[in-house]
Amino acid sequence: MKAKLSSTLIFTVFCYCGILYCGSATAQTTQILWQQGTGKYNNYRIPSIIATQKGTLLAFCEGREAGDSGNIDILLKRSADNGKTWSDEQVVWNDGANTCGNPCPVIDEETGRIWLFLTWNNGEDSESEIIHKKASSPRQPFVCYSDDDGRTWSEPQNLSESGRDASWGWYATGPGIGIQLKNGAYKGRLVIPANHSYDDPEGTVRNGPYEYGAHVLYSDDHGKTWNRSESIGPGCNESQVTELSDGTLVMNMRSYNEKYSRAISFSTDGGQTWTDIEHDFQLVESRCQASILGLETENKKTVHLFSNPAVPVGRTAMTIKSSFDNCQSWSNAKLIYAGPSAYSCLVKLPNGQIGLFFEAGEKKPYEKMVFVSFKRKELFSQGTILEKI
C-alpha cells in the first residue's frame, strides 16, 4: 500500500510540472571524458557543458600541468549523439606557459553564436600573489566565439576595460555557464556570472585586507559590447545565475561566510544591481563550486535543478536537487555519486534527458571528468545513479 501511494505521488508531481518524459526509452549514458594521468596533460579540472542549437554537446575543461596556476589550457570535446560518443580533444586556447582558465559558455539563441568566456593570467603568478597585487599583472577576462557549432573559435579578446574594476586583483568567469534571458523587459540579454577579489580593510582572504565578491557581465547587443554589474559580497565567488519565471535573476554562489550553505542574491533589473546576500540553508555546501539550471517544461512551467557535493565538510556525495517554486524550496535530493566529487555542470540534452558533467574519483575528487545522462524521472526514483566510476 505504501509503495503504491508513493508511486502515485511521484506520477502526480511529474504530471503537474509537465516533465513526464514520454519519448522512446534510452539507456543511461556514462562516459569518462578526461582522466588524470592520461592524455597530454597531467590533470584535468573545471567542467562546463552546453547543448548547441544544432543538438551538439560541447564539453569544456582545463588541461593542467599542475594545480590552479601555471600552464593551463582550455580543452573541448564535442558529441553529436547526446553524449554516447565524443570527438578527440580540441585545444581552444593555449597561451604557452600562461594560465587560460574558467570556461563559461553561453549561446545567443537569436543569432546562434556561441560565446565562450575565459580568464587569463601570467603562469608564473599564483592566486595569492594576484590577490595581494604582487603579481606581474591582475587576472583578466577574455571572450571568444564560434559560428560553426564549436568546431573553430575566434581569437580571444581582452574585456578588462569594460569587464573588470581596475582595483580588483583576482578574476574568474563562472565556472559553468551563462544564460540568455527569456522573460520581461530584458529579454534577449546575455548574462555571464563572474567573480573577483577586492580591497576590504576588514577582509581576511589570503590573510587580507581583501575579500571575495561576485558580479555579472551582460550584453544587450548580441555581444558587441559588454557591461559590468555592481558587486555582490562579501565572502562569495564561483557563481552561477538562473532566471525565475517573472524575470528575476538569482545568483547562486560559493560562500566563505561560515554558513555551510550557498550564498544567494537577487536582481530585478536584468543583473545590473543585486540585493544583499543571504544564505539558502537547504543547499548545503563545503566551499565548492555548484551548478544551477532552469528547465522550461511542456506546459511553460519552470523547474530548477541544482547540483553540488551536498556535504558540509569535504567533497563527496554529488547530488541533484529540484525546485518547482522558483528556487524557494528544494526537494527530491537525488544522489548521483556517493564517492569523492567536486565541481559540476548541468545540461538539458537534445533528447530531453538530463546531463551532468562533473569531477569525481575513487580516492580523490579530481581523478576523472565524468559525463552521465539519464531520464528526468530518475531524479525522483530510489537509489544512486552511479555506484562506481
Provide φ and ψ at 380, rounded to 5°. Answer: -115, 15
DSSP per position, 238-288: EEEEEE-TTS-EEEEEEE-SS-SEEEEEEESSTTSS-PPPEEEEEEE-SS-
Which domains are seen in the chain, by residue range? 29-380 (2.120.10.10)
Provide φ and ψ at 100, rounded to 5°. Answer: -120, 105
pLDDT of 93 > 50? The answer is yes
Grid cell in block for residue 297: 517544461
Distance from the Cα of residue 252 to its chain's centroid: 10
CA angle (180 as vertex; 46, 50 as ends), nearest 5: 35
Global pTM value: 0.92
Determine the pLDDT at residue 299.
74
pLDDT of 32 > 70? The answer is yes
- % of the chain at pLDDT higher than 70: 93
Within 8 A by CB and 6+ apart from 198, the residues are 165, 167, 168, 169, 210, 211, 212, 213, 231, 233
Q: In the 8-state DSSP scheme, what is residue 378?
A: G
Side chain identity, residue 211: E
Other CB atoms within a 10 A radius of the CB of residue 39 amount to 13
pLDDT in tens, 246-292: 999 999 999 999 999 999 999 999 999 999 999 999 999 999 999 99
> What is the Cα–Cα distance from 366 to 352, expressed in whole angstroms?
28
pLDDT in tens, 161-180: 999 999 999 999 999 999 99
